[in-house]
Amino acid sequence: MNPRSQAASILLQHSEDRIRRERQLDVLRMAAVNLEKSAGFVDGLKEILGSLERHCDLVLGRINFLDGVIDIGKEIRAPGGEKPIDPQVEEAIQMANQDVLRNWRPKMVPVPNFEGSRFHSTFEVERGVQLYVLSHPIKFNERKMGTLTAVKVCYGSFEPKTEQSFLSVLTSMIAQSGMINRFYPDHQNDTAAPQTVAPTLDKVKFDRSPIIGNSKAMTGVFELMQQVADTDTTVLILGESGVGKELIADALHRNSIRRGKPFIKVNCAALPETLLESELFGHERGAFTGAHTQKKGRFELAGGGTIFLDEIGDLTLTTQIKLLRVLQQREFERLGGVSTIKADVRVIAATNRNLEEMIERGQFRQDLYYRLNVFPLHVPALRERKTDVMPLTDYFIEKYRKVHNKNIRRISTPAIDMLTSYHWPGNVRELENCMERAVLLSNEGVIRGHHLPPSLQIAESTGVEAGNNLKTTLESMERELILDSLKASKGNMAKAARELGLTERVMGLRAKKYNLDPRKFRKPNA
């Protein structure tokens, strides 16, 4: 090749590289917009896969999330990707995807001897064109979330490192959006102009925040909430202490037609019987000793809105009779008053007691129970929704990291094992308290097993024999530190030893003592 032709070829190559980079930047810009402003997280992902096909010759894109990470379906494909494709191409896609799930590093698999006539999709490919399957892990820090896989159609030069770098940025964006979606699925920013008339629920997306959970048990609760939220029906929320009954009541009011009106909460167990009637219905001046002024009760303050009666099972029989009249006739009088006040309120009640058993023992009125139990809503215990433990943990870590100004980067694997194997008798409230404690105790940016309460530090999750002596506790902490350093150094014993201030020989002895094989943490070769 003469110098002039060679120079022209170099210029052409540079021009193609520049165009390729510009198209990749366009895709990243569109991805940022789609993930932030799309009508839904799934729709945003489909738009991204479509843009890869239109601008980057990456066809048949698909995104797979691990079970329990984000409940949006087993697989998301690019528009048109549901059509049958060449078996050889499908085999290469599965091979690449499975390799990424094993090793959690990018993988490229060539498709040999491709016949274009057998390639069915919205993207037309010429016979004999070289194809490569590119698969990339979707991770948020060290949290494994899923994979993105697509088929690269090569019409000219091909730089695998450049393509993988581009996909690395893209999957990082998807992972960050996915973490938000774990807590607020299909969340969207309302950019529409303000309306003069309050919109009805069929025009506004059901807002369940800050209730966290994508488990099947919680999905059923959310479906029932959405059905009853925009009605005036009385709701009875049932569940153990600490499951979040008050959050459920708050979400029901926030999504109701009364959302702009007061939401008044009453803890029936916190008020003595002598004050409860006055608190609920108010009193007139001089109604009793100490009543120097007129006072409005909670029912009156909640006019036009919602009143939440928590711990309804703790009401005395006398108060139950007076509450029954309000539910039946929607009216009441202040204590010491003569005028009747209309109760334009929606009633939401909650209890952790078995009201039917209380009725049999004569502790709760059956007629009041029937008035309250119009739409029962059972909130499952945390042990019945184990897949929600880690999303809740992430949320509480982030919450208390900001509250206490702590730099918490991650949670160790042994600590995760403890959290997921524990039976959580105190439910979500207990988990929240545990994570606030752990955030306060951690001074190294990592929440470890010994930062959790003793009740969670079981022998199975620490990897050492059970016991309460000092030697056992120190061995548990030492094993956890060595395990974390091996993971952080990708199995590099010398690097892990330096981080812990040990010699490589001592590091090897400690790893052997706790049966930790450094090879399991090494990053496979490209």
CATH superfamily of 18-183: GAF domain (3.30.450.40)
Asked if 350 and 308 touch (Cβ cutoff 8 Å), the reply is: yes
CATH of domain 216-380: 3.40.50.300
Element (H, E) at 5: helix 3-37
Query: Which range has the worst mean pLDDT, 61-75, 174-188, 222-236, 425-439?
Result: 174-188
**pLDDT tens digits along 75-86:** 888 776 666 677
pTM, to two decimals: 0.54
Asked if 135 and 96 touch (Cβ cutoff 8 Å), the reply is: yes
Report pLDDT for 347: 95
Per-residue confidence at 469, pLDDT binned at 50, 70, 90? low
Residues of the chain with CATH 1.10.8.60: 384-521
Per-residue confidence at 241, pLDDT binned at 50, 70, 90? very high
Residues of the chain with CATH 3.30.450.40: 18-183
Query: Which range has the worst mean pLDDT, 98-107, 172-181, 201-210?
Result: 201-210
- Residue 25: C-alpha distances to residues 20, 45, 134, 163, 321 (Å): 9, 17, 18, 12, 68
466-479: average pLDDT = 64
Report pLDDT for 508: 86
Report pLDDT for 526: 37
Q: How far apart are CA 6 and CA 8, in angstroms?
A: 5
Query: Which range has the worst mean pLDDT, 82-86, 161-165, 398-402?
Result: 82-86
Residues of the chain with CATH 3.40.50.300: 216-380
DSSP 348-401: EEEESS-HHHHHHTTSS-HHHHHHHTTEEEEPPPGGG-GGGHHHHHHHHHHHHH
Per-residue confidence at 329, pLDDT binned at 50, 70, 90? confident
Sign of the dihedral through C-alpha 347, 349, 354, 360: negative
Report pLDDT for 116: 53
Q: 3-class SS at 246?
A: helix
Asked if 346 and 256 touch (Cβ cutoff 8 Å), the reply is: yes
What percentage of the chain exceeds 90 in pLDDT?
26
Q: Using the predicted structure, report yes or no on whether residue 196 has a pLDDT greater than 90.
A: no
pLDDT averaged over the chain? 79
Max mean pLDDT range (28-42, 176-190, 193-207): 28-42
What kind of architecture, by CATH, is found in domain 384-521?
Orthogonal Bundle (1.10)
352-362: average pLDDT = 93
Q: How far apart are CA 79 and CA 61, in angstroms?
A: 9
Q: Using the predicted structure, report yes or no on whether residue 186 has a pLDDT greater than 80.
A: no
Q: How far apart are CA 122 and CA 111, in angstroms?
A: 19
Q: What phi and psi values does residue 351 have, to the nearest 5 degrees? A: -160, 150
**Helix segments in 38-159, DSSP class H:** 41-56, 87-103
Asked if 251 and 207 touch (Cβ cutoff 8 Å), the reply is: yes
Largest CA distance in the chain: 110
158-180: average pLDDT = 80
The closest of 166, 207, 143 to 58, measured between CA atoms, is 166
Q: What phi and psi values does residue 147 have, to the nearest 5 degrees? A: -140, 155
Strand partners of residue 143: 140
DSSP 8-class letter at 468: -
Q: Using the predicted structure, report yes or no on whether residue 10 has a pLDDT greater than 50.
A: no
Q: How far apart are CA 59 and CA 62, in angstroms?
A: 9
DSSP 313-353: GG--HHHHHHHHHHHHHSEE--BT--S-EE---EEEEEESS
Per-residue confidence at 128, pLDDT binned at 50, 70, 90? low
Report pLDDT for 73: 62
CA torsion angle 452 458 461 462 (round to 10): 80
Q: What phi and psi values does residue 267 have, to the nearest 5 degrees? A: -95, 105
Report pLDDT for 191: 36
**pLDDT tens digits along 475-502:** 777 777 787 778 778 788 888 888 888 8
Per-residue confidence at 194, pLDDT binned at 50, 70, 90? very low
Q: Using the predicted structure, report yes or no on whether residue 46 has a pLDDT greater than 70.
A: yes
